[in-house]
Amino acid sequence: MESRFWVNNYDYSVPETIRYPKIPVQEFVNLAAAFQPHKAATDFYGSTISFREMRSRILRMANALVCHGIHKGDRIGIALPNCPQYIIAYYAILYAGGVVVNMNPLYTHDELSFMIKNTQMDYLFTFDSVLPTMQGLAKELRLRLIVTRVTDFIDGFGVSNGRDMGLEADWLHFSEMLEGCREESLPDVPFVYNDPAVIQFTGGTTGIPKGAVLTHANIVAATLQAVVWGNSTAVAYLPVDKGTILSLIPFFHVYGNITCLNNGFFTCSTQMLLPRFDMSELFAVIARCEYISYFPSVPTMITAIVNHPQIQEINLASKIGLFNSGGAPMPKELIRKVKDMGIYFNEGWGMSETASMGITNPIMTGKPGSIGVPCPDNDVRLVDIEDGVTDVKRGEPGEIVIKGPTVMKEYWNNPEETSQQLKDGWLYTGDIAQMDEDGYLTIVDRKKDMIIAGGFNIYPREVDEVLYQYPKVEEAVTVGVPDDYRGETVKVFIVLKQGQQATADEIIAFCKEKLVAYKVPKLIEFRESIPKSAVGKILRKTLRDEEIAGKKK
């Protein structure tokens, strides 16, 4: 493998290597409270909590957990949207020596049940809106719930209590736990840099979720990589007291956990919290903000924002310093729209297994359409898709394998999956990419998403890029569907821009001008919407599964 020649493309302020402090993740809370005690840590629908007050609440909750018998290494679940309660629970668990198990509160009974059983958790932080699901799980699995009402931390809404919420006798109420514990000393828990901090579940090769174990070292390294990368833009020119992050990406997702939550505390940035992607709520927050220095997002969110008719009214272009996109490749046309507005933009690649960091575009000199170059201290190779060993030649597609300080320790309680994807410290990602002469990587597609039609390999991402160039198309996703003759054939799902009309024939005709014949879509389906994950990532697999199920009927 060549040396890290790609560091020559780093922005001026980004170091080739970082000296990572050997601290636990929760030390970020102490840093922020010590050096920006009076600054707002969070703004939740206009209700603010300072960094000093946030530290106080976190430590009270941490000591309450210790009083309830939490010991070092115990796994504790969080199934909450973005709200102050999530932040308090997250850092309190870490202070108490526990391991955070991140859970999407909208998951089904079976999905949540697997995570609870797999990690053997005893406690779960959750909220009133999902109690019907959580209540059944608690009874089945002898799980103690710590329940809040999301509006409990919004001024003027009052604070709920366990009695009014009808909680079971052995469940706990979030606010009552805080009020019942006034102890703010640091729990006496010894930490080792490589202790597990977070279990982040992700899809498995067998379809069974697997929990990526991220250590304190992994999360600290990922946070510092994100911070130093962003310091080359206007973020670096802002005084600390002006730093603001729009925290819309869910904290239970590894991307939001690093780039919003932990980044916010390390940089002493005020986090504008939004528990859901609602355009009216989002635009209301942007309108009342003087300035947002950093807005981590995903392509589907950015598409909705830049195409919204109200962007001129709220003066979006002068409100946002840096848009970051992750979770899925960003169409070039969308990148151009953002840059035309004068907003700095960068795109990156990461996984749950790499604590969301891995490869990212230099902010000032990146290449649109690529995911960028490896972050400091990361080594990346592209290996043959078939043998998984041989490095491919420059410019040829190969599977990304990565080694570095953010790569997970293991999969929780799953040695088989660990051995399949971690080999001599190298993580096999399943993503196929090409590397150019400067070290920039471009995602071709997921290994499992590749379409094989009539013996030809077709990467859906390439077809998507062409479809996004068509002026009537708002969103597009390409999948391979079963075909009796070709094995698979190319089908695309399209959402048109508001007020636009199009036919399948005109879409196909446009693709014929841009693609070789075997890559041209054979089937077109227009939809009002496309299924997405909680973080806004298009669920290509869901569409493919729907097609397969329909074919069998």
A 10 A CB-CB count for 122 gives: 18
Alpha carbon distance 432, 130 (integer Å): 37
Average pLDDT over residues 374-400: 93
A 10 A CB-CB count for 547 gives: 18
Tokens 């903000």, residue?
289
Q: CATH topology for 450-552?
A: GMP Synthetase; Chain A, domain 3 (3.30.300)
Residue % of the chain over a pLDDT of 70: 95
For 472-485, write each residue's pLDDT tens digit.
Answer: 999 999 998 888 66
pTM, to two decimals? 0.84
A 10 A CB-CB count for 283 gives: 17
The neighbouring-strand residues paired with 298 are none
Question: For residue 520, which of 509, 511, 510 has the smallest C-alpha distance?
Answer: 511
For 169-224, write each residue's pLDDT tens digit.
Answer: 899 999 999 999 999 999 999 999 999 999 999 864 445 679 999 999 999 999 99
SS3 labels along 417-439: HHHHHEECCEEEEEEEEEECCCC
Handedness of CA 83, 85, 90, 94 (dihedral sign): positive
Backbone angles phi, psi at 302, to 5 degrees: -65, -40
Indicate where the chain has its CATH 3.40.50.12780 domain(s). 5-20+210-446
Please report, for residues 30, 31, 259, the alpha-carbon distance to residue 262 in angstroms, rounded to integers and kept in the order given.
12, 12, 7
DSSP calls for 360-410: E--TTT--TTS-BEEPTT-EEEEE-TTTS-SBPPTTS-EEEEEESTTS-SE
A 10 A CB-CB count for 53 gives: 16
Alpha carbon distance 413, 286 (integer Å): 43
- Angle formed by the axes of helices 84-95 and 51-67, nearest 10°: 50
Tokens 């690093």, residue?
258
DSSP E strands: which ranges in 84-209?
99-102, 123-127, 144-148, 172-173, 196-202
- Which CATH superfamily includes the segment(s) 5-20+210-446? ANL, N-terminal domain (3.40.50.12780)
Backbone angles phi, psi at 486, to 5 degrees: -95, -5
For 7-27, write each residue's pLDDT tens digit.
Answer: 999 998 899 999 999 999 999
Q: Let me know: does 20 contact 217? Beta carbons within 8 Å.
A: yes
Indicate where the chain has its CATH 3.40.50.980 domain(s). 47-190
Using alpha carbons only, what angle is made at residue 279 by residues 273 and 280, rounded to the nearest 5 degrees?
A: 85
Question: Residue 446, exposed/middle/buried by CB under 10 A (0-12, 13-18, 19+)?
Answer: middle
Whether residue 523 has pLDDT greater than 90: yes
pLDDT at 314: 86
pLDDT at 236: 62
Asked which of 108-112, 373-377, 384-388, 549-553 is least confident by mean pLDDT, the reply is: 549-553
Alpha carbon distance 433, 425 (integer Å): 20
Q: Which CATH number fits domain 47-190: 3.40.50.720, 1.10.8.60, 3.40.50.980, 3.40.50.300?
A: 3.40.50.980
Alpha carbon distance 255, 241 (integer Å): 24
Alpha carbon distance 530, 77 (integer Å): 30
Indicate where the chain has its CATH 3.30.300.30 domain(s). 450-552
pLDDT at 205: 42
Instruction: Retrieve residue 4's tokens.
Output: 């890290």
